[in-house]
Amino acid sequence: MNGCRILIVEDDPVIAGAMAEHLKSWGHRPVCVRDFQNVTAEFAASQAQLVLLDVSLPFFNGYYWCAEIRKLSQVPILFISSAADNMNQIMAMNMGGDDFLAKPFDLAVLSAKVQALVRRAYDFAGPAAQVMSCGGGVLNVSDGTLSAGETKLELTWNELKILQMLLENRGRVVSRESLMTRLWESDAFVDENTLTVNIARLRRKLRTAGLEDLIRTKKGAGYLTEG
């Protein structure tokens, strides 16, 4: 696998910047978290294929965010911390981490660990779960679930494909014809009435998750989302 998308969850901007620049030189595409109260949402938005996660963070620690990310994806997670005692390393692995790097560290060691995790996860295994940010929630395309806060909902195949297409075109109107074509191409023919029913059912589920305003109707044109 060539360079991958990497989410850096590190609140020291100097350290985060140094890691990002070094990883770019290796062909990776790093993104640094900015909102440490909403790391899960930034993870989803980044479509990260690997996460570098500090233990000591504002609001919630790295163990908390590791557990939250693990609800969505099996993406490789490399913990980074100055607290490198055995207890912290064991905790990191028990929470779902894949490796641990103690601060201070040589950037060459960082890139070596990243390369090893990428090879292990993607050269010999299937891809990590595909997730998409969805308003204040997260859509997991791999297993057809929608998560928002403590709520996790299962979507039908049609609901998943409708929401996925709207999110892929967020901010743009998607016509009813385009949505029906998307479903038709997948051998799940849906006429206009069935599409209306599916949209209504999807909206009810979004309401349950507190995302009632995610899908907007443009009369005579179609639907859009800005979530």
- Average confidence (pLDDT) over 117-136: 69
Which residues in the chain are classed under CATH 1.10.10.10? 131-225
Two tokens, residue 213: 């305003």
- Average confidence (pLDDT) over 111-123: 81
Distance CA 55, CA 9 (A): 9
- Average confidence (pLDDT) over 63-90: 85
CATH class of 5-123: alpha beta
43 CB contacts (<8 Å, ≥6 apart)? 7, 51, 69, 72, 73, 131
Mean of pLDDT over the chain? 85
What CATH topology corresponds to 131-225? Arc Repressor Mutant, subunit A (1.10.10)
Distance CA 167, CA 192 (A): 21
CB 58 within 8 A of CB 69: no
Rg of the Cα trace of the chain? 20
Which residues in the chain are classed under CATH 3.40.50.2300? 5-123
- Average confidence (pLDDT) over 49-70: 92
Q: Is a pLDDT exceeding 70 seen at residue 22?
A: yes
Q: Beta strand 222-225 with 215-218: parallel, antiparallel or unpaired?
A: antiparallel
* Per-residue pLDDT, 126: 47
Q: Is a pLDDT exceeding 80 seen at residue 192?
A: no
